[in-house]
Amino acid sequence: MLPLDGITVISVEQAVAAPFATRQLADLGARVIKVERPGTGDFARGYDETVRGMSSHFVWLNRSKESIALDLKRPEDAAVLRRLVDRADVFVQNLAPGAAGRLGLDAATLTGANPRLVVCAISGYGTGGPYTDQKAYDLLVQCESGAMSLTGTPEAPAKVGIPVADIAAAMYAYSGILTALYERERTGRGSAFEVSMLEALGEWMGYPGYFTRYGGAQPPRSGAEHAAIAPYGPYATRDGVRVFLGVQNEREWEDFCARVLDAPQLATDPRFARNSLRVENRDALRTRIEERFAALSAVEAERRLESARIAHARLRDVTEFADHPQLAARNRWRTVDSPVGPLDALLPPVTVAGREPRMDRVPALDEDRERILAELDATATGLQRIRT
């Protein structure tokens, strides 16, 4: 038995944020019914065709769900959705600004009909304020949140390579739904909440926010290095390989100097005696480290770092990550079904001994229509029999 067995989630969802939140609920055993547009479905289905003709985003975000296509502007389809929501535990939507209200899917209306319902609305900028009606995509929220001003090189900003604004919003929606379900166990009543992508990513901007507000200037863009910690980043070795390392405290700094660089006196050099000075004198510090690494191969440098218990890593590409020996040793890959056949899928990161997460099929568009409608008809027939 999984923790959310018996919980039904209805989600009018698209793209990344809401689908990622609800997929994680499905991982825990919830029944997730995904409501899509007739004909085209969730527009993330069309982002690319790289997974044997299916979209990589869609495969990632939509396993273990059921799909029904409804045109919510048609009264009969809108009525089907309301019947689904009236018997559900959770309703999620990330429609365009204002659309939920126009469709009668606002929280007040839905919880009025189903007081135990948990309602989650995900938007770009939240309700109220000058940005309420702005469309929001991941890149745009990375810009508006200041995140993109921190990422890249001193010469040019860069978008984070994964959709961090969407993922941030999804994680707060997911935890918010779990919190609301727990609260319902205590009170017997559901609740409604919203998550904005701007505020979700803004929470992740905590360290640069405080750094900037009280330091007078924001952390500089520093490529693969850390703007506020040194040494922390890539350093070239004799064979041209860059070894990434991170020194987090003064004890590690002393060990790094003595056992990796063979230069214990460097630990007390006035330019490097504490982290803020090392950041201030980053170029000189890099020179000293790479002077020593110039005599070491990457393997030799890694052996020294391991011996000194200094955190380090190799830069892997995505293929190398998929083949990572740690994932293989921990048996983290599974196979899920899909309209294009079996596909590899990485297990969710929360590991509970003796519990296997749900890893079911990725649905085709409208694949579950007949069964879902039959269930509604059976329920309506049963209710009619009870009344008569």
- Tokens found for residue 279: 């950041």
- Tokens found for residue 351: 């590991």
Q: How far is CA 155 from CA 149, 158, 231, 244, in A?
A: 11, 10, 21, 22
DSSP element (H, E) containing 279? helix 275-280
Known active-site residue 226 = yes
Q: How far is CA 355 from CA 65, 175, 344, 350, 351, in A?
A: 20, 20, 19, 10, 8
- Considering only CA atoms, which of 159, 127, 120 is closest in space to residue 17? 120
**What span, in angstroms and rounded, lies between the C-alpha atoms of 126 and 132?**
6
Cα-trace Rg, the chain: 26
Give the contacts of 223 (CB within 8 A, at least 6 positions apart): 152, 153, 154, 233
| 368 contacts 66 by C-beta, under 8 angstroms | yes
Q: How distant is the alpha carbon of residue 322 from its chain centre?
A: 18
| 33 contacts 25 by C-beta, under 8 angstroms | no
Q: Cα–Cα–Cα angle for 177, 366, 49, nearest 5°? A: 90
Cα(first)–Cα(last) distance of the chain, in Å? 36
Q: Which of 57, 226, 312, 324 is catalytic?
A: 226
| 36 contacts 366 by C-beta, under 8 angstroms | yes
- Tokens found for residue 84: 């689904």
Residue labelled with tokens 């030799």: 300
What single DSSP character describes residue 153?
A: -
Give the residue numbers marked as catalytic.
Answer: 226
